[in-house]
Amino acid sequence: MKTITYISPEEAVKAIKSGDHVHLSSVASAPQTLIKAMVERGRNGELKDVHIHHLHTEGPAPYADPELEGIFQLDSFFVGGNVRKVTQAGAADYIPIFLSETQKLYRSGVLPCDVAMIQVSKPDQHGYVSLGTSVDATLAAVECARTVIAVVNPNVPRSFGDAMIKIEDIDLFCEDDTPLEEAHFTTPNEIEQAIGKYCAELIEDGACLQMGIGAIPNAVLAQLGNHKNLGIHTEMFADGVLPLVESGVVNGKNKRIDRGKIVSTFLMGSQRVYDFINDNPGVLMMDVGYTNDPFIIAQNPKVTAINSALQVDLTGQVCADSLGRKFYSGVGGQIDFIYGASRSEGGKAIIAMPSVTNKGVSKIADCLTEGAGVVTTRSHMHYFVTEYGAVDLYGKSLQERAKAIISIAHPDHRESLEKAAYERYGSHYTYIKMK
C-alpha cells in the first residue's frame, strides 16, 4: 500500500502551471484550503491563464473575482449562486452541457484536465479513500488529470459506489478538518405546499423518484408518508428523503436495477445527510455518466422525475437556465431525467413551478423572454404543475396545450394569456376543448 506523505496546501498547489485546466470537486466537497492557496499564488503573480472547471460549488469562489481577470478563468458546468453575478457580468463563463455528459468532456479529451483538486475521506485499511458527497464529473477528472491533489478531511463521509478510489490514484496529499458546507432549506410556503400536493398525487406506489433540492422537492417528499415501496435514482438529494427512508416508505423494492439502493451522484444538506451516507451500503454515490444516463434511468419502472423551471411558454417550452439573456443556473440534469422518465415503463416527467414570481409577474408566458434558453423542448414536455393544478400535455396539440397551461396559470394573468393564444391561433382557438 502506498505510504502517504502530507504536505501543505501551499506546497501542493505548486503543481499548477500557467495555462493549466484545473477541476474542483463540487458542492459541499469543494477543497477550500487548496482554492485559497491557489488564489494566493495567482495574486502573487505566480500564475496566469489558469482555467477552472466545476459543477456548482458551495462556499467562497475567489478565483472568479473580476480583479483576477487574466489569472483565472472560470468556465463552469453549472452556474451556482456563488458565481452567478460574475457570470452574468461576463467575468466568468458557462459551458452548456447535459449533466450526464460533464464527465465525457474529460474522458473524450474535449476539455483538458491538468490538475484535479479534490476532497476525500480518511484512508481505510485497504488503501481506499472516498469522494464522499460528490462523485459527479470528479471521478473522470481524477482518471484524466496529470496531477491529482487530495485534501484528506475526517468530515468527508465514507460513501460507497463509484466514490471509492485508491490512494495510488492520488499524487499529492494535504490535510484539513474544516466541516463541510451545509445547506438548510426554508419551510415550504402555501404555494410550494400546494405544488407539492399536486406532484405527490401523480406519484404512484412503487415509483422511482428523481427530484432536486429545495422548497418544492421538500414539499413533495413531506406528502409521501402514506406511499409504499418508493425508490430513489437521482442526481442529488437532501434531508427531505431521510424520514421516508426511516419509515420504510423508501426501500427500493420495486427497482429493477440497484434494487434496494439509493443512487445519487452528489448531495447537499445538513450534517444529518452527510452522517446518513457515511459507511452506508444502502447508498451508492455514482459517476454522473451512470446516474444521469437516460437509458439507465429508464430501466427502472415508474420513474417519476420532478424538475423546476424559470418560465414556460404556451407551447410547453421550458426555460430553466436563464432569465432572458442572463444565465441563472444551467442545463443540469433536467433533460437527462425528463427523457429517462418518459422512456420508463409507467414513468412520469413533471415540470413544477409557481405560477408567478415573487413580484407577481406570470412565469407562464405567450413566448419565452428574448434570450431565454429552451432546456426542455415542447416535445419532451409531459406533466406541468403549478399551485393551481396539474395538466398532462403529452399528445396534445398546440392549441390544446395552450388551453391546459392557461388553466393552471395565476387567475390574474389568465385573461391576457387567453388573448395572446387567440391572437396566435385565430378564432378556431375558441372551439378547442380541454381533454
Q: Are 56 and 76 in contact (CB under 8 A)?
A: yes
φ and ψ at residue 386, rounded to 5 degrees = -130, -175
11 is catalytic: no
Q: Is 316 left (phi over 0), alpha (psi -120 to 50) or beta?
A: left
Q: Look at the block and give the residue holding cell 479529451.
A: 109
* Residue 326 half-sphere exposure toward CB, CA atoms < 13 A: 9
3-state secondary structure at position 225: coil
CA distance 189 to 225: 19
3-state secondary structure at position 112: coil
Residues 6+ apart with CB under 8 A from 226: none
In single-letter form, the type of residue at position 87 comes to: T
**Which cell is 136 given?**
459527479
Listed residue (199, 218, 196, 197) closest to 382, CA to CA = 199
Select which of 101, 192, 235, 387 is catalytic. 235
CA distance 52 to 22: 5
CA distances from 142 to 111, 112, 135, 162, 165 (A): 14, 12, 10, 12, 9
Count each helix (H run) and each strand (E run) in the chain, helices first: 14, 25
Listed residue (207, 253, 245) closest to 225, CA to CA = 245
Listed residue (261, 203, 265) closest to 234, CA to CA = 265
Q: Are 307 and 338 in contact (CB under 8 A)?
A: yes
Give the residue numbers annotated as catalytic, written as ranges: 235
